[in-house]
DNA sequence: GCTAGATACTTAACACTGTTAACGATCTGG
DNA sequence: CCAGATCGTTAACAGTGTTAAGTATCTAGC
């Protein structure tokens, strides 16, 4: 896997080269991870929404739409599918216009297994590096996540 | 942005923590990058296929299907759409069963602009780090890409 | 306390992408 | 030369996205 050249119009410096390499590396990391998701038997959209429910807790349809960056009708339909599969349930709040969604135990288990598979796949790839390089990778990744939301 | 805890069932060590942090960081890097793609006016699938054509050169329908990990009919339909938009063209080889696809100049320009936007977005986020940290990020990302295909 | 407007969700109609099955055209080996 | 393999397209269907319209509920103002 080699890194593509910087496109024309971008200054060539550490910053742009870091962005370029980080871009490529991220694509490759997630390509592998996504392969693990197919074993869940869920479509990517359903698994993604269910993951939000598991890690963020019960949320209204509108909140889920904002988080996923899609429309409320799109969420509503996916929730219906998750409910049919016994992976999530609809609930109500004081405001009777709102509909909350929460993952079932089975939904939670499915998401956790998927996350474990993803991380195991990535970890297996990292095994090729030395302990010292793995520490560097960890330090940089944690730094990226610590500072802001890059 | 904080890193989620390691899931149960995964040993807690540098390797798994590196995988966990790298996973989160990759998700965030690409979330930003994808936002830049909307400006292209193309659907993600069309832009992705067009990118392959630009960076890998002319390819047959079957080869594109293998690269994108989807079926030949799916590629065929997207190529038809790209052709209609003047972004790609179909061609022929000696083997008259095969159909090759190649990006037009306009398609190439569109992909290059998109890639520039992506990298500029990522670079802008990295500007928050010190020069020394940026060098570390670059070194790790290039290492990840150099060794294999993580 | 009532009503007008805002808000939250659902349903409907349509576009795009993915699949598999079936078909036509072309190549290849015996 | 022909039977079978290969390549691409078309068709039919499922899933997800959108916007528009409809229903129910809340809230503000009189």
Please write the tens of the pLDDT for every residue from B32-70: 888 889 889 999 999 999 999 999 999 999 999 999 999
| Largest separation between any pair of C-alpha atoms in chain B | 56
Within 10 A of B117 (CB to CB), how many other CB atoms are there?
A: 18
Q: Which is it for the CA torsion B103, B105, B110, B112, positive or negative?
A: positive
R_g over Cα of chain B = 19
Please write the tens of the pLDDT for every residue from A6-55: 999 999 999 999 999 999 999 999 988 888 899 999 999 999 999 999 99
B96-135 residues near strand C (Cβ < 7 Å): 96-97
Which of B 91-120 lie inside 8 A of A, CB atoms? Answer: 112, 115-116, 118-120
Please state the separation of Cα A135 from the chain's center in Å.
23
Q: What is the pTM of this model?
A: 0.90
Please write the tens of the pLDDT for every residue from B117-143: 999 999 999 999 999 999 999 999 999
Q: Give the H/E segment covering residue B76.
A: helix B72-84
Tokens representing residue A50 in the block: 């269910």
Helices (H) and strands (E) in chain B, counts: 6, 3
Interface contact A18-B134, CB threshold 8 A: yes
Report the 3 state secondary structure along A42-96.
Answer: CCHHHHHHHHHHHHHCCEEHHHHHHHHCCCHHHHHHHHHHHHHCCCEEEEECCCC
- Cβ-Cβ contacts under 8 Å, A33 against chain B: 23, 26
Local confidence band at B147 (pLDDT 50, 70, 90 cut-offs): low
Q: Residue B60 carries which DSSP code?
A: E
Q: Which is it for the CA torsion B53, B56, B58, B59, positive or negative?
A: negative
Any strand C atom closer than 7 Å to A81 CB: no
Bridging pattern class, strands A59-60 and A99-103: antiparallel
Tokens representing residue A133 in the block: 């390089």
């Amino acid at each position: 896997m080699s890194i593509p050249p910087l496109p024309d119009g971008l200054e060539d410096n550490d910053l742009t080269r870091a962005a370029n390499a980080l871009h490529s590396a991220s694509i490759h990391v997630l390509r592998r991870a996504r392969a693990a998701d197919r074993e869940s038997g869920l479509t990517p959209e359903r698994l993604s929404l269910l993951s939000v429910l598991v890690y963020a807790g019960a949320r209204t349809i509108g909140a889920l739409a904002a988080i996923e960056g899609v429309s409320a009708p799109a969420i509503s339909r996916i929730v219906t599918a998750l409910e049919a599969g016994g992976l999530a349930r609809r609930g109500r709040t004081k405001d009777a216009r709102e509909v909350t969604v929460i993952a079932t135990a089975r939904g939670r288990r499915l998401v956790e297994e998927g996350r474990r598979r993803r991380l195991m796949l990535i970890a297996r790839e990292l095994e090729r590096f030395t302990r010292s390089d793995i520490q560097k990778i960890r330090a940089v990744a944690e730094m990226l996540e610590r500072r802001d939301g890059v």
